[in-house]
Amino acid sequence: MNDLQTAPRPAVLARQSFIEMSARERAAALLDPEGQREVLGPFDGLQSPWLPRQGIVPQSDDGVVVLRGRLGGRDAVVAALEGRFQGGSIGEVCGAKIAAALELALRDCEAGRPVLPVLLLETGGVRLQEANLGLAVIAEIQSAVVALRRHVPVVAAIAGLVGCFGGMSLVAGLCSHIVITRQARLGMNGPEVIEQEAGVEELDAADRQLVWSLIGGEQRVATGLADALVDDDAAQVREQVLGFALGAPSEARSAQVSIWRARIDALAANEDLSPKALREAWETPRRAQGDKP
Partner 1 sequence: MSTPLSRGRIWFDHLAADARRVDGLPASVLAADGTLDGGPARFLAVVPDPASPFARARQGEVGLREGWGLAAALREALRDDRDGARRALVAVVDVRGQAYGRREEMLGIHLACAAAVDAYASARQAGHKVVALLVGGAMSGAFLAHGYQAQRLLALDDAGVTVHAMGREAAARVTRRSLAELDEIAGAQPPMSYRIADYAGLGLLHRLIDGVDAQAPSARQVERVRESLVEALRDIGSGERDLSVRWTAARAREGRAASVEVRRRMAEQWTR
**Of 172-201, which residues contact partner 1 (CB under 8 A)?**
172-174, 186-189, 193-194, 196-198
Residue 100 in the binding site for partner 1 (CB under 8 A): yes
CB neighbourhood size of 100 (10 A): 18
Q: By rule CB under 8 A, what string of x and - marks binding of each residue 133-172 to partner 1? A: xxxxxxxx-xx--xx------------------xx-xxxx
Residue 208 in the binding site for partner 1 (CB under 8 A): no
By beta-carbon proximity to partner 1, the closer residue of 203 and 242 is 203
By beta-carbon proximity to partner 1, the closer residue of 97 and 238 is 97
Residues 41-60, interacting with partner 1 (CB under 8 A): 44, 46, 48-50, 53-54
CA distance 165 to 135: 13
Q: Within 13 Å of residue 277, how many CA atoms lie on the same side as its CB?
A: 7
* C-alpha dihedral sign at 3, 30, 161, 214: negative
Find the part of the chain contacting partner 1 (CB under 8 A) among 5-13, 17-25, 235-243, 257-265: 257-265
Residue 69 CB partners (closer than 8 Å, separation 6+): 31, 32, 34, 35, 36, 37, 76, 77, 78
By beta-carbon proximity to partner 1, the closer residue of 50 and 234 is 50
Q: Considering only residues 202, 280, 283, 291, which one is a binding residue for partner 1 as defined by CB under 8 A?
A: 202
Residues 7-26, interacting with partner 1 (CB under 8 A): none
The answer to whether 196 touches 212, Cβ cutoff 8 Å, is: no
Find the part of the chain contacting partner 1 (CB under 8 A) among 8-16, 155-163, 236-244, 264-272: 264-272
Least CB distance from residue 176 to partner 1, whole Å? 12
Find the part of the chain contacting partner 1 (CB under 8 A) among 12-20, 100-108, 229-237, 285-293: 100-108
Q: Considering only residues 6, 11, 248, 271, which one is a binding residue for partner 1 as defined by CB under 8 A?
A: 271
Tell me whether strands 116-120 and 155-158 are parallel, antiparallel or unpaired: parallel
Residue 114 in the binding site for partner 1 (CB under 8 A): no
Residue 66 in the binding site for partner 1 (CB under 8 A): yes
CA distance 262 to 18: 37
Q: Considering only residues 71, 78, 99, 242, which one is a binding residue for partner 1 as defined by CB under 8 A?
A: 99
* Beta bridge partner(s), residue 179: 157, 228
CA distance 69 to 54: 36
Strand order in the sheet with 64-71: 37-39, 64-71, 74-81, 116-120, 155-158, 177-181, 228-230
By beta-carbon proximity to partner 1, the closer residue of 159 and 234 is 159
Least CB distance from residue 241 to partner 1, whole Å? 20
Find the part of the chain contacting partner 1 (CB under 8 A) among 26-34, 155-163, 233-241, 251-259: 251-259
Residue 154 CB partners (closer than 8 Å, separation 6+): 117, 118, 119, 145, 148, 174, 175, 176, 177
Least CB distance from residue 248 to partner 1, whole Å? 19
Phi, psi torsion values for 71, nearest 5 degrees: -125, 115
DSSP, collapsed to helix, strand or coil, labels residue 5 as: coil
